[in-house]
Amino acid sequence: MPVTFRLFLLLHLLIVVRAAAQNLPTEDRIFDTSLKTVLLYPVLGNDATDPAQTLNPPVIDQTVGTQLMLEFDDLTANYRPFRAKLVHCNADWKQSVLNDIEFTYEYNDYPIQDYQISLNTKIPYYHYRFPVPKVKLPGNYVLVVYNERNPRQIYFSRRFITYTNRVAVSPTVQFANDPQLRFTDQQINFDISYRGYPLISPQDDLKIVIRQDYRDDRAISGLRPTNVRVFDNLLEYRLFDLKNTFPGGNEYRYFDTRTVLSRGNYIERVERKEDKNTVFVNTDGPRSVGVYVQTDDFNGQYVIDQLETRIGATQADYITTVFTLRIDEIANADVFVNSAFNFWRLDDLNRMSYVPELRAYQAEIQLKQGVYNYNYSVKGIPLPVTRSGMTLSGNETLLEGNYSDTENDYELFVYHRPPAARADQLIGYRRLGYNKRK
């Protein structure tokens, strides 16, 4: 092939990819419903096959060099040419103005070539793996996977975050100071020490985000320090307007489908047919009335595993999972099964339908074998308390309740745009748990 023709093809590809990049998604979302179980997680330790690693959020320290791994399944059961690219975002998850060369070490267009075919499953699929390339700058990123033959066809997008700790974050979590929220809410107070890190206007330069249980729909931003101790290079955040409080929620419900040869935990029955398996999760009811009950959970996450082989990636089957919530029909409202398997999105995939003869809501969702956390959320019923700075995807309080004793994970993100920089960088990160029991 002549050199000039190769240059022409490369230039054409650059133009097409650049044009397609103008409106790239910057949220966690699957656009192709035949793609399932999109996992993005840091590989920690020596055992890369440990299914519990997927419980960790895709947030990594750049100074350590931890590898991020992407995994997903294609239920078309046909090989498809996938490609990936990275999108850099500011603290608000809007795409930044940086050029690719400013945050990547190589050409920002990566083929996804590592795949395996499922084995001994009733629902056939291709399982793909992709190690996420290293990036230059700490901050927010989105991994976008698209069609190699048509870059404008986006299959899905997944957020991830890298950080370099240049400031020290010291948080504490407690029940809310407001007497009315004492038994329902949790409050995060914290200090930021910026000793050794130059800030021109300490009270204005930093952007703070707090996130509960790794959920972007449960995040608070726009917090300002209540006290600036200039000589100590310390910012104090002791907010009295309750902007730093979260609804405690409840421990997540869970079920176990790692085997279909017998009933797992919280599985009512299993139906095994020649072409598919169906499991019925135990019938649920509201938990918003009564006292808090302590249970262990994954804080809304899930783990893929197969009990007989322990090779969940390619030997875990897809099962039709039936959820039943026994309550009277809620007028002018929609009820959803809510979990990390749908990125906490309330849409047609996890919407429940009311069945009058059962006096209950039901939903059938195709899920890969594993252990899942979930709860129920309602759209159309206002929340009892309006929370400034937080956009909740639905009303979980109505069916799950809020308890300040609930065990939750919290993350604090500190963003800063250095002088002459063109995008936000993540200069501080801290992760802590509240009411941890193990």
Percent of the chain whose pLDDT exceeds 90: 85
Q: What contacts 205, CB < 8 A, 6 or more positions away?
A: 199, 416, 417
In the block, tokens 């940086």 appear at 98
Measured in degrees and rounded to the nearest 5, phi and psi for residue 14 equal -60, -40
Q: Quick check: 1 pLDDT over 80?
A: no
Is 373 within 8 Å of 295 (Cβ atoms)? no
- For 18: left if phi > 0, alpha if psi spans -120 to 50, otherwise beta; the answer is alpha
**Rounded to an integer, what distance in angstroms lies between the CA atom of residue 136 and that of residue 329?**
52
Tell me, what DSSP letter sits at residue 404? T
Is 404 within 8 Å of 425 (Cβ atoms)? no
> 3-163 architecture in CATH?
Sandwich (2.60)
Q: Quick check: 19 pLDDT over 50?
A: no
In the block, tokens 């990123």 appear at 141
pLDDT (tens digit per residue) in 255-280: 999 999 999 999 999 999 999 999 99
pLDDT of residue 437: 77
Domains 3-163 and 256-379 share a fold: yes
Is 404 within 8 Å of 186 (Cβ atoms)? yes
Is 372 within 8 Å of 319 (Cβ atoms)? no
Lowest mean pLDDT among 176-185, 323-332, 403-412: 176-185
Q: Quick check: 13 pLDDT over 60?
A: no
Q: Are strands 154-163 and 59-61 parallel, antiparallel or unpaired?
A: parallel
Tell me, what DSSP letter sits at residue 10? H
Question: Which CATH number is correct for 168-248+402-434, 1.20.120, 3.30.70, 2.70.98, 2.60.40?
Answer: 2.60.40
Average pLDDT over residues 163-168: 98
pLDDT of residue 10: 46
Tell me, what DSSP letter sits at residue 33? T
Question: Could you give the residue ranges of the DSSP H alpha helices within 198-339?
Answer: 202-205, 312-315
Q: Quick check: 14 pLDDT over 50?
A: no
pLDDT (tens digit per residue) in 378-405: 999 887 666 656 777 799 999 999 999 9
Q: Quick check: 411 pLDDT over 80?
A: yes
**Rounded to an integer, what distance in angstroms lies between the CA atom of residue 143 and that of residue 159?**
6
In the block, tokens 């085997």 appear at 259
* Residues 383, 355, 349, 251, Cα dihedral to 10°: 50
Total residue length of the chain: 438
Task: Determine the 3-state secondary structure of 238 from DSSP.
Answer: coil
Burial of 43 (0-12, 13-18, 19+ CB in 10 A): middle
Q: What's the gap between Cα 62 and its chain centre?
A: 20
Q: Are strands 139-147 and 82-89 parallel, antiparallel or unpaired?
A: antiparallel
Task: Determine the 3-state secondary structure of 17 from DSSP.
Answer: helix
| Of 44 and 170, more confident | 170
pLDDT (tens digit per residue) in 289-309: 889 999 999 999 999 999 999
pLDDT (tens digit per residue) in 182-200: 999 999 999 999 999 999 9
Q: What is the mean pLDDT of the chain?
A: 92
**Rounded to an integer, what distance in angstroms lies between the CA atom of residue 267 and that of residue 116?**
30
**Rounded to an integer, what distance in angstroms lies between the CA atom of residue 426 and that of residue 241?**
26
Lowest mean pLDDT among 2-11, 22-31, 371-380: 2-11
Reported confidence tier of residue 142, pLDDT bands at 50, 70, 90: very high
pLDDT of residue 40: 98
Query: What does the domain layout of the chain look like in residue ranges?
Result: 3-163, 168-248+402-434, 256-379
CB neighbourhood size of 307 (10 A): 17
Percent of the chain whose pLDDT exceeds 70: 92
pLDDT of residue 382: 83
pLDDT of residue 206: 98
CB neighbourhood size of 328 (10 A): 9
Give CA angle at 163 (340, 191), nearest 5°. 95
pTM of the model: 0.92
Question: Could you give the residue ranges of the DSSP H alpha helices within 132-259?
Answer: 202-205
Reported confidence tier of residue 21, pLDDT bands at 50, 70, 90: very low
> 256-379 architecture in CATH?
Sandwich (2.60)
The C-alpha R_g of the chain, in whole angstroms, comes to: 23
Q: Quick check: 343 pLDDT over 90?
A: yes
